[in-house]
Amino acid sequence: MSALDNICSPSKEALKNAARILQAGELVAFPTETVYGLGADASNDNATAKIFEAKGRPSFNPLIVHVPDIETARKYVRFNARAENLAALFWPGALTMVLPRNEECPISRLASAGLPTLAVRVPANPLARDLLLEVGRPIAAPSANPSGQISPTQAIHVANGLKDKVKLILDGGTCKIGVESTVIGFSEDEVILLRPGGVTKEQLQAACGKVTMSAPDSKITSPGMLLSHYAPSCPVRLNADDKKEGEAYLGFGPETDLISTINLSASGDLTEATANLFSSLHLLDEEGFASIAVAPIPEIGLGVAINDRLRRAAAPREKQEG
């Protein structure tokens, strides 16, 4: 069987089948509005362990648990007032909150990687929501790519990356947002941005005042944020305003259009550039260029998440993570 045979177009029957596979403790990849997730029943230790195995993900990197609504999330974690407010504003959507586990939390400890906290998210993608309702269990899901590589925004990316390590891939087309969710944690009086993503820092600040960036190599607050990640097989050169021999050029904005191999957004639109980021890296990676040069991207709004992913794609490769 080829990897592509695992891709399944969405139908009632396909959803029922996907739910049965998850309930049986196997892995299913599914679309969210951010990227495709590699899902497992988060209340099942064996199933959750299979995620780490399939991705080659270090076990110290905890997973996000997906639930259909805040009421379900309350069964697993304790909300503070700011988290309640942010959930009301941004869920369903691209925001993940790291909160203390309840005493009787039935979610596998593996999903928390031994921490006393759990990352929870209510996704907005209709197929992801239908799957959560059909399966009736919390789904642990990191991005559905081998650890350290480019995240998937199309079913074909998942099939090419994970091959037969995933039982079924629900095809929901291209992910709307195109980068992962924003991950936040809470201190006594602050919201801490652990990973920039689909919800911008500016949006969070408008909702709750001060938002502090966590240190980029802070293993304690967010163990998943090690340096090399989202990496194509060739080197990546950032803030480039020219293209060298043998290089591909990933452009941004009208002034880069002439030298662009692919332009993330010819009009300089950050939302469009975000949606095109990972699929462009996948395409250029397949073309076998010597390296990929990337235009400067403004460090505002979604540009913060784009630059975060690009810096990690360009980072030295010794330490990869998922």
- Minimum CB separation from ligand TXA for residue 61, in Å? 5
Q: Does 263 bind ligand TXA (CB under 6 A)?
A: no
Residues 229-258 binding Mg ion (CB under 5 A) are: none
Burial zone of 290 (CB within 10 Å; 0-12 exposed, 13-18 middle, 19+ buried)? exposed
| Residue 42 contacts residue 67 (beta carbons within 8 Å) | no
Which is closer to ligand TXA, CB of 66 or CB of 243?
Answer: 66
Q: Does 180 bind ligand TXA (CB under 6 A)?
A: yes
Q: What distance in Å separates the CA atoms of residue 95 and residue 77, rounded to the nearest whole number? A: 15
- Which residues, in sequence order, are CB contacts of 130 under 8 Å at separation 6+? 15
Q: Does 320 bind ligand TXA (CB under 6 A)?
A: no
Q: Does 115 bind ligand TXA (CB under 6 A)?
A: yes
- Minimum CB separation from ligand TXA for residue 276, in Å? 17
H-helix or E-strand spanning residue 201: helix 201-208
Which is closer to ligand TXA, CB of 243 or CB of 309?
Answer: 309
Q: Does 63 bind ligand TXA (CB under 6 A)?
A: yes
H-helix or E-strand spanning residue 52: helix 45-55
Which is closer to ligand TXA, CB of 61 or CB of 263?
Answer: 61
Which is closer to ligand TXA, CB of 49 or CB of 115?
Answer: 115
Residue 145 has what DSSP assignment? S
- Minimum CB separation from Mg ion for residue 11, in Å? 28
Residue type, 186: F
Q: Does 143 bind Mg ion (CB under 5 A)?
A: yes
How many chain residues interact with ligand TXA (CB under 6 A)?
A: 28
Q: Does 270 bind ligand TXA (CB under 6 A)?
A: no
- Minimum CB separation from ligand TXA for residue 259, in Å? 32
Q: Does 50 bind ligand TXA (CB under 6 A)?
A: no
Q: Considering only residues 61, 154, 265, 274, which one is a binding residue for ligand TXA as defined by CB under 6 A?
A: 61
| Residue 204 contacts residue 293 (beta carbons within 8 Å) | no
- The alpha carbon of residue 302 and the mean position of all alpha carbons in its chain are separated, in whole angstroms, by 14
Q: What is the DSSP secondary-structure string of 229-262?
A: -SB-SS-EE-S-SS--TTEEEEE-SGGGGGG-SE
Residue of 97, 321, 75, 314 lying closest to 207 (CA atoms): 97
Tokens (6 digits) for 142: 């990191």
Q: What distance in Å separates the CA atoms of residue 260 and residue 252, rounded to the nearest whole number? A: 8
Residue nearest to ligand TXA (CB): 224
Q: Does 96 bind ligand TXA (CB under 6 A)?
A: yes
- Minimum CB separation from Mg ion for residue 94, in Å? 14
- Minimum CB separation from ligand TXA for residue 34, in Å? 3
Q: What is the dihedral of CA 212, 218, 222, 226, to 10 degrees?
A: 120
Q: Does 32 bind Mg ion (CB under 5 A)?
A: no
Q: Does 35 bind ligand TXA (CB under 6 A)?
A: yes
Tokens (6 digits) for 78: 């304790």
Q: What distance in Å separates the CA atoms of residue 71 and residue 188, rounded to the nearest whole number? A: 24
Rule CB under 5 A: which residues touch Mg ion? 143
Rule CB under 6 A: which residues touch ligand TXA? 32, 34-35, 37, 61-64, 96, 98, 112, 115, 117-119, 121, 141-143, 180-181, 183, 194-195, 222-225
